[in-house]
Structure 1
Amino acid sequence: MLPLEVVVAATTLLAAAAGTWLLRSTPKAERGPRGEKLDPAGGTRLKNLLGYGMALIAKHRERQACAKASLRELEAFHKPEPHPFFNESFYFHGCDRDTGDHVSARLSRHGSGAEKSYVVFFLDIAGVGIFSFERDDVPVSDAARASGRPSACGLELECLEPMRKWRLRFDGKMRRGCHTPQQARTLSDSDLIEVDVDLVYERQTPVFYYMRDDCAETLANNLSQEPWGIQFAKVCLNRSKNHGHYEDFGTLSGTVRINGISSREYAFDTFRDHSWDIRRWATMDSVLILLVTLEEPLHLFGHEYWFLDLTLVSMPGNTSGVARYSTGYMLPKESLDPDAPVLCLVRGTSILDVPWVRHPDGTREPEAETDVVMYVRPEAAQMPAIPVRVHMSGTVRRLIYYPDGNQFQYMEDGLDFRVTNLASGQQVKAYGSRQSGFRQGDFDPSLGGCG
């Protein structure tokens, strides 16, 4: 029998070796089917393990927050943070399958106390043209505050049934084309065109609530791929509790009238988003977001999926959170397959591996064709994720707006999509929006960024 001292010494050495292995050992970086770099990449085994614990805590907190609030409270404006970059935003983006026409509406309140509004409304009508309205730093009126509805500058969003049905109305003047804020100030008001829009949104899918419905593994690896230090620890500990972000897909139906030019009935397949947090557009150096409706369902894990979202963000210099983030999901139609689980992103093409076109003046735009892969599985299932490829090409119909006073340029592109289950080979046509954006000019990280 070995002496106790020898056993203790051997155990100590083994524990030290195991600790060193966990601290320094990094799992082999995974690559996509075509050698793509994948994110979130994670870090060392120990960081991944600690990140997983942090992710479970975050998911638990989000579930508690959702359970405490009523659906009506979730859909309403929230108490604003006393922070210059607080932002609460309501967003709809619809695409018509037959015409490829688009409608896009964004209405947010921002700043300390949420005293100002940012309003964006776009129409892209085939054979007629693109019409735009963009206005920032609009004081929130007493009437809008009293009604509780998101409304400003002729755009009004009304919750008819929480988490089920909304009404979107716009009654105002729009310009042809897309213009920077500086360009818009030089244009004549005689070019404005009266537009009247009345649409009703009805949800078709489960609601995806970020963090609550994300894979814990994905959240963990988004955290553990970051350099950890005192500043990052402070950010995690001081993370605002007053935040939320949920999305769903549905149909936006009604009438779009462009005075003297066009009057059409639509049933747009539509993405809806509501978020509130510390947000600053210019914190992002680049972002790619896909909002896609499939023409026929993609078969995955024995169920049918009709919609997908993929979000890839690069935020180097962000002092208020992570510098790189990946998330996404695929959703079924509830009425057709009520038992289908939500599929969430485990990993996907890295934002660092998405190519962009850089112009001599420093501006950027996505390449004509974009190709990404996303690995998805049910959130709680212990099974291999299935790779899904999304290919975008064809004629681009582009909407552009310029948040944060043109510190950021955001493009919403309509083009052709093809979505492929790489495990089975099934490929389907799809439609929707490829959204990408880029920081304009210099960035001062000392001002803070995104939570």
Structure 2
Amino acid sequence: MSGRDSHSEDPRGPRPLHPHVGLAEPADDHGGGLELGAAAADPGLSGLLRRGVKAAIARWAVLRRPAAEWPRPQDEARHAWDGRPHFAEEFVFAAVQSELGVLARLEWLPGRDAHRVWLTLFTPTAVYCLPGGQALLRGDGERGWSVGGLTFDCVEPLRTWTLRYRGALDVHDPRGRPVRPAGDAPAESIEARLDLTFLAGLLPFVPGTDDDPDLLARQLGAAAWDTRLLRTVRRHPLRGYVQAGDLHGTITLGRDLRAFGGAALRVHTWGVRDWGASDAAMQCFAALGPLRTYVHTARFPWVSLYGGFVQRPGGVVPIRDLGVTQERRPGRAPARTGLAVEAPGGPLALEAETVAELPLDMDGRGHLDIALVRVHAGGERPPPRAEGPRLVGAPGRPHEEPHGWGLCFTQRRLLPRPTPRPT
């Protein structure tokens, strides 16, 4: 994959770093469907004028970005802890190939003297993960990005990383439930070994900043601006970027050695993290042939935001608009997620069908459902595949090739919002 894209044509280099933001579902949660992408409108001419003025101010602010905040190679290094108790820094690698998804995450939590570790393999027949889905390892805060058998190593900043894992993984069914031999016996486990290399195909993309300026200005123009919002943004910044590329190498489960070569997304963020900050959020990375798409959405009490990019053979472009529908299931990942994307080069319609999932509770403040999804275009569902066991990483059948794969993350706040104080 060529490293030349619409970012690289900007002589100024990568885009700046700003807080990550995104859109999710509106407050109306009735029925099995979910419609996203339309901002609530104030009634009347006065509301229209207010939104227009705010959108104009927002667009001016979006376009006047300080060059000093653009990503630099040194941003790949660990950032100094500023003493805030909820500071966190994370690296994430998410990758997919036919019928196999890889998710690896290391999070440094200096205020808790701990690291949080994820290592999960998703297949249509089983999910392999750390006990409980994640590990929180306390102490030894100087271990850097090598914790709990998982190691990330930067070979060349903003371009090449390696990912290694040695250890056991518990076996779960496709719904994310532990597979136990009998009764209350411990979950089945299997020895795993991963040796993978990430090669960047694009310069970093900063959600909330590299998103389409007109799209971002429209959303900020519809926000309920007040002093509380401004204080929140100023006091709780979360900075970072995502980067598309390829992940290749080998994965060993037990005695089964498989080659891996798939589309990948790398994430690096740092700052104050609150898993209950947004009422709901969603991120999805999908690959369908040469097409790759990343979308992010989040809903807060005062604003709903969304964005992302589409990567086609000619380069990467930020999306101009996004519609999302989800077929919900109580207590589980959505059965299906539909994406209607407007982007330069033409509209894009994708449907992502969940084939395996893993639920996680995050610090008692948020719930996260992670899903391996089968992706197809134009609302056409893939033909039923034959029953029977499939080896991890085995080649897809010819009729399955037009369909792609992805990983979707759906988050919701667990704690009730405090009652607003009367003004």
Normalising by the residue count of structure 2, what TM-score does the alignment of the two structures yield? Answer: 0.73
SS in structure 2 of the partner of residue 50 of structure 1: helix
Deviation at 1:58, TM superposition (A): 4.7
Deviation at 1:61, TM superposition (A): 3.9
Correspondent of 2:115 among 106, 114, 117: 117
**Greater RCO, CA 8 A, separation 6+:** 2
Please report the RMSD computed on the Cα atoms of aligned residues, expressed in angstroms. Answer: 3.3
Distance verdict in 2 for CA 1:40–1:279, change over 3 Å = farther
Structure 2: 5+ residue runs without aligned partners?
1-33, 43-47, 380-400
SS in structure 2 of the partner of residue 209 of structure 1: coil
What's 2:15 paired with?
A: none
Structure number, greater radius of gyration: 1
| Residue pair 1:40, 1:348 contacting (<8 A) in 2 also | no
User: Structure 1 or 2: larger helix share?
Assistant: 1
Distance verdict in 2 for CA 1:431–1:42, change over 3 Å = farther
Hey, what's the Cα distance between the residues in 2 that align with 1:323 and 1:101? 35
1:152-190 CA-to-partner distances (Å, cap 9, x unmatched) read 111111111111111001111110017689x9xx97668
What's 1:224 paired with?
A: 221
Give yes or no for the alignment of 1:371 onto 2:338.
Answer: yes
| Residue pair 1:196, 1:257 contacting (<8 A) in 2 also | yes
Q: How does 1:300-319 map to 2 (within 5 A)?
A: 306-316=291-301
Distance verdict in 2 for CA 1:269–1:187, change over 3 Å = farther
Number of matched pairs: 353
Distance verdict in 2 for CA 1:244–1:37, change over 3 Å = closer
What's 1:155 paired with?
A: 150
| Residue pair 1:374, 1:388 contacting (<8 A) in 2 also | yes
Distance verdict in 2 for CA 1:323–1:159, change over 3 Å = same
| Residue pair 2:164, 2:195 contacting (<8 A) in 1 also | yes
Hey, what's the Cα distance between the residues in 2 that align with 1:323 and 1:111? 30
Question: Counterpart amino acid of 2:225?
Answer: W
Give yes or no for the alignment of 1:209 onto 2:206.
Answer: yes
Structure 1: 5+ residue runs without aligned partners?
1-34, 297-305, 317-321, 378-384, 421-427, 447-451
Hey, what's the Cα distance between the residues in 1 that align with 2:41 and 2:109? 33
* Identical aligned residues as a percent: 20
Distance verdict in 2 for CA 1:40–1:274, change over 3 Å = farther
What's 2:352 paired with?
A: 392
| Residue pair 1:396, 1:413 contacting (<8 A) in 2 also | yes
What's 1:50 paired with?
A: 54
Normalising by the residue count of structure 1, what TM-score does the alignment of the two structures yield? Answer: 0.69
Distance verdict in 2 for CA 1:187–1:70, change over 3 Å = farther
SS in structure 2 of the partner of residue 281 of structure 1: coil
Question: Counterpart amino acid of 2:408?
Answer: Q
Distance verdict in 2 for CA 1:254–1:273, change over 3 Å = same
Distance verdict in 2 for CA 1:274–1:374, change over 3 Å = same
SS in structure 1 of the partner of residue 53 of structure 2: helix
Hey, what's the Cα distance between the residues in 1 that align with 2:184 and 2:201? 41
What's 2:165 paired with?
A: 170
Hey, what's the Cα distance between the residues in 1 that align with 2:265 and 2:286? 8
Question: Counterpart amino acid of 1:110?
Answer: L
Correspondent of 2:243 among 234, 240, 248: 248
Hey, what's the Cα distance between the residues in 1 that align with 2:269 and 2:155? 19
What's 1:330 paired with?
A: 310
| Residue pair 2:292, 2:311 contacting (<8 A) in 1 also | yes
What's 1:277 paired with?
A: 271
Hey, what's the Cα distance between the residues in 1 that align with 2:185 and 2:352? 37
| Residue pair 1:401, 1:410 contacting (<8 A) in 2 also | yes
Hey, what's the Cα distance between the residues in 1 that align with 2:240 and 2:295? 15
| Residue pair 1:314, 1:324 contacting (<8 A) in 2 also | yes
What's 1:303 paired with?
A: none
Give yes or no for the alignment of 1:197 onto 2:194.
Answer: yes
Hey, what's the Cα distance between the residues in 1 that align with 2:135 and 2:60? 38
Give yes or no for the alignment of 1:259 onto 2:254.
Answer: yes
Hey, what's the Cα distance between the residues in 2 that align with 1:432 and 1:193? 25
| Residue pair 2:282, 2:411 contacting (<8 A) in 1 also | no
Hey, what's the Cα distance between the residues in 1 that align with 2:328 and 2:36? 19
Deviation at 1:416, TM superposition (A): 2.9
Hey, what's the Cα distance between the residues in 2 that align with 1:374 and 1:52? 24
Deviation at 1:356, TM superposition (A): 4.4
What's 2:20 paired with?
A: none
| Residue pair 2:369, 2:409 contacting (<8 A) in 1 also | yes
| Residue pair 1:283, 1:439 contacting (<8 A) in 2 also | no
Give yes or no for the alignment of 1:439 onto 2:412.
Answer: yes
Hey, what's the Cα distance between the residues in 2 that align with 1:279 and 1:180? 28
| Residue pair 2:370, 2:409 contacting (<8 A) in 1 also | yes
| Residue pair 2:97, 2:260 contacting (<8 A) in 1 also | yes
Deviation at 1:194, TM superposition (A): 1.8
Distance verdict in 2 for CA 1:204–1:281, change over 3 Å = same
Deviation at 1:419, TM superposition (A): 5.5
What's 1:138 paired with?
A: 137
Deviation at 1:282, TM superposition (A): 2.3
| Residue pair 1:40, 1:347 contacting (<8 A) in 2 also | no
SS in structure 2 of the partner of residue 232 of structure 1: helix
